[in-house]
Chain A
Amino acid sequence: MTTLLEINQLSVKLQDKHILQQLDLHLCAGEILGLVGASGCGKTTLLNAIAGFAKLTDGVIQLDNRIINDGELMVPAQERQVGMIFQDYALFPHLSVTQNIAFGIREYSASEQSLRIDNLLTLLKLSDHKDKYIHQLSGGQQQRVAIARALAPQPKVLLLDEPFSNIDARLRTELMLEIRQLLKKLNITAIFVTHNKDEVFTFADKMAVMAEGKILQLDSPVAICQKPNSWLVADFLQLGTWLTCKLNRNELSTPFGSLNLTDSELEYITRRVSNVSNANLVLLIKPQYLQINESLTVNACVEHISVTEQGYHYQLSSIDDNTRKQSNVSLYSQRMLNIKEKVALQVKPHPLLIFSQ
């Protein structure tokens, strides 16, 4: 696949605050990238930089082999062929659905215009509403119009700024799947910003986790979930709970017993963490890798119980053996436990994800 969008060393400063710092990003044609990160991490600014609404302090943005931003050179937004779906859709209230869609293609011939509009109206199931004004449409319909309007000029890349945040939760997944299929069908390259990781799992091919103006990790959602490259990423994605632990050669002691690291796991951790034996390490533990083993001495205390369709969901705290901070973990079990009941937990053998905090 060819690289469509290439961002190198991108920095943006607003009112003396570094919003983006030396950020790199590569995106291939036809890919859908989901940008996640806590609010204020620079996601929206990155979109604005690509669209041409933010002034770079440094870096280069290249779209389809054309440099659109490099130091003083700044191709105006209207000449970038970048489409954008705004959080509030930014539909023109004084124009009808058709006129909104036609807005970006007004310089094409009338026949070309009507061809594209008809296509989009059909694709987005808006044919029945084409003469309506924006305020006469539901939220979902408005979003379709926004998509149709952005797609009409056939932009090279489509940017979506929290596109699903205004949609009713019940309809959201359905709508996301539908739009994803549409984008795939049209082979559109897209970047979308969200603070909801589940939307990324549903909608994106690739995922980028941002924090403090940098991309921490960019990979497929599955890869990131399986192998988050830092504590920040794993923590942001809430992949599990954290067990404080200590490493002694290849033996990892946790509040719920000791585990042996494989060579590759050991190498992975020593590569990233210097002075491993003194570091504050944490083990990412997903609920499915914990089990109750009554043969052991009790090491955890039930703090909260809730009921789910998979059985009981317990929150437990470790009973401290004085050296470590208390850890709180989550456990699914069919067994009935009482609150404040003490149990013995054990970590099942599994590929270990260890980070330094």
Chain B
Amino acid sequence: MIALYNQRKWTFLSYLIALVMMIPVLIMLVDGIDASTQLFGHLWQTVLPDYLQNTILLGVFVVLLSLIFGVVSAALISQTNLLFKQQLRWLLLLPLAMPAYLVAYLYTDLFDYAGPVQRNLRLWFDWQSPTEYWFFDLRTLSGAAVMLALVLYPYIYMLTRGAFEQQDQSLMRAARLLGLNAKQTFFNVALPLARPAIAVSASLVLMETLADFATVQYFSVNTLTTAIFDTWLGYGDMAAANALASVLMLLVLCVIVVEQRGRAGLRHQSSRPNMHKELIQLSFLQQIAASVFCWLLVILGFLLPFALLISMAVEYSNAEQLANLLETGINSIKVSVIAATVAVFIALILGFYQRLHGNKFSHLPQQISGFGYAIPGTVLAMAMLATFAPLDHWLNDIAEFFAWQQPGLIMSGTIFAMIFAFVVRFSAIANGTIASGIKQIPQSLDYAPATLGMGLIKTVTRVHLPILKPTILIAWLLVFVESMKELSAVLLLRPFNFETLSSQIYQLISDEMLEQGALGAILIVLFGLLPIILLNRKREH
């Protein structure tokens, strides 16, 4: 509408935040330009094509599987007379709470040769050796794809179900009057209309897949992430590693472009969701098959791994672990609380900037600052080191010059860098949640307080913030949970004597000793459930 409030300070602050959050990425890109072509050439001639191929294959597999899992379950829940619909509606979201690396480990443990499944099969059929029967090998590219899809499909399920439920029912009625039956209407109207939502969520899944590092590493699937690690740690060539990371980022950028287009399409959806919806009636057999499909997703994605964790915890936990858990748990919570708070704070500043400074470019800071989501944690951690170490030096040099006490590595050597990485990575989540919350506040509420004698700051604090309270809570929790799960940045940036739940679990997993950390893993999962429960409750009302 009108440029209502034109406070320069706010504009300045918004762009400053966006810039600060972009700096690590820029530095990484600049570093990458110096990469030695020699090493690059060697990699390109030997393993890089395979890595790239693996990366792309993994991405394609995960997205395809997640689409099958997510779109089908969303359609069944919102369009048919499925059995146990009310329960499945929220149960299907639960796998979101499971970190992929955890599921990967638990299933390997379960399905390995020595695992209970194969052991019992051998007992029943009296097989002696692995040559006598075929059993699938989980530690493959497709295995990794299944693991990732099992915990990532809820993104697609959530957004697609939302799209189905928000669809204007008069469109469906029009289709029926034009001679289509319920099923035809779904395939010819509802599904095409949901396409933007499906595209957006699929791109989320793809980004998460490209950012994954622990699962593929555990499964020995060599992807671009492997290549980054190799060049950095093996060959000790940071510049080449940065160049590879930039390639990965370019891949992700492509995904973002697709996603943005999808979002543009989303705007055309009108909503009149309150009208009664006619469901596709499944036959009894179809109902059973559909229910089994959904229940399998819930069981495989959440219930089974969670049960495995609990049984591990029951069997192996002891008092020493509890004390340890307390320490690492508090560390995890500490950094996650700070990261979530900062991210939400930034999201609010940028969200209100966009809302109240109605000019053409006011969405820019928000978009720029959300870019970090596309950067895998490992890459981001490298960028943090590249950014803050020189800054620390500079600070210390200044202190030295003025003969002050030198502060030491106050940025790169403390949890600061770690939290900064979390904030850069997860700001997009907070931004998205807060922005959609703000969008739901009628524009007139921006103006009404002024007619009642209230200035800008008070308008925001007295009107917008209270209305946004539930949204803020959800945004906060989402970032909190993601931070609890985040691994790569922690591994590379943590300071002295500092372990988080995720880094500890990862180490135990790489030593094949997750039993020792089962309690911590349960804790991460339980925290991950909080926003799901909350989101679900919000939708119900």
CB-based contact B3/A104 at 8 Å? no
CB-based contact B450/A86 at 8 Å? no
Interchain CB contact (< 8 A) of A53 among B2, B452, B466: B2
CB-based contact B448/A78 at 8 Å? no
A113 to B: closest C-beta gap in Å: 13
Which residues of chain A are near B4, meaning CB under 8 Å? 53
Which residues of chain B are near A42, meaning CB under 8 Å? none
B359 to A: closest C-beta gap in Å: 10
CB-based contact B445/A78 at 8 Å? no
Q: With an 8 A cutoff between CB atoms, is B398 at the interface?
A: no
Which residues of chain A are near B463, meaning CB under 8 Å? 92, 94
Q: With an 8 A cutoff between CB atoms, is B461 at the interface?
A: no
CB-based contact B467/A77 at 8 Å? no
- Complex Cα distance, B459 from A201, in Å, reads 36
Within 8 A of B (CB), among A140-159: 149-150, 152-153, 155, 159
Which residues of chain A are near B442, meaning CB under 8 Å? 88, 90
Q: With an 8 A cutoff between CB atoms, is A48 at the interface?
A: yes
Within 8 A of A (CB), among B440-454: 442, 444-445, 447-454
CB-based contact A14/B466 at 8 Å? no
- Complex Cα distance, B118 from A127, in Å, reads 73
A266 to B: closest C-beta gap in Å: 47
Within 8 A of B (CB), among A181-212: none
Interchain CB contact (< 8 A) of B453 among A89, A104, A159: A104
Q: With an 8 A cutoff between CB atoms, is B455 at the interface?
A: yes
Chain B interface, number of residues (Cβ within 8 angstroms): 20
Task: Specify the chain B residue showing the minimal Cβ separation from A15.
Answer: B360
Q: With an 8 A cutoff between CB atoms, is A83 at the interface?
A: yes
Interchain CB contact (< 8 A) of A153 among B1, B444, B453: B453
- Complex Cα distance, B449 from A83, in Å, reads 10
CB-based contact A94/B449 at 8 Å? no
- Complex Cα distance, B329 from A357, in Å, reads 81
Task: Specify the chain B residue showing the minimal Cβ separation from A79.
Answer: B453
Q: Which of A52, A76, A94, A149 has the most CB of B within 10 A?
A: A94
A84-B448, A94-B466, A103-B449 in contact; A76/B455 too (CB < 8 A)?
Answer: yes
Q: With an 8 A cutoff between CB atoms, is A87 at the interface?
A: yes
- Complex Cα distance, B355 from A276, in Å, reads 54
Interchain CB contact (< 8 A) of B450 among A55, A78, A107, A150: A78
- Complex Cα distance, B445 from A84, in Å, reads 11
- Complex Cα distance, B469 from A79, in Å, reads 28
A88-B442, A94-B467 in contact; A53/B453 too (CB < 8 A)?
Answer: no
- Complex Cα distance, B443 from A86, in Å, reads 10
Interface residues of B (CB under 8 A from A): 1-4, 442, 444-445, 447-455, 463, 466-467, 469
The 9 residue pairs across chains A and B that have the minimum distance between CB atoms: A104-B452, A77-B450, A90-B444, A90-B448, A86-B444, A84-B451, A94-B466, A78-B450, A78-B453
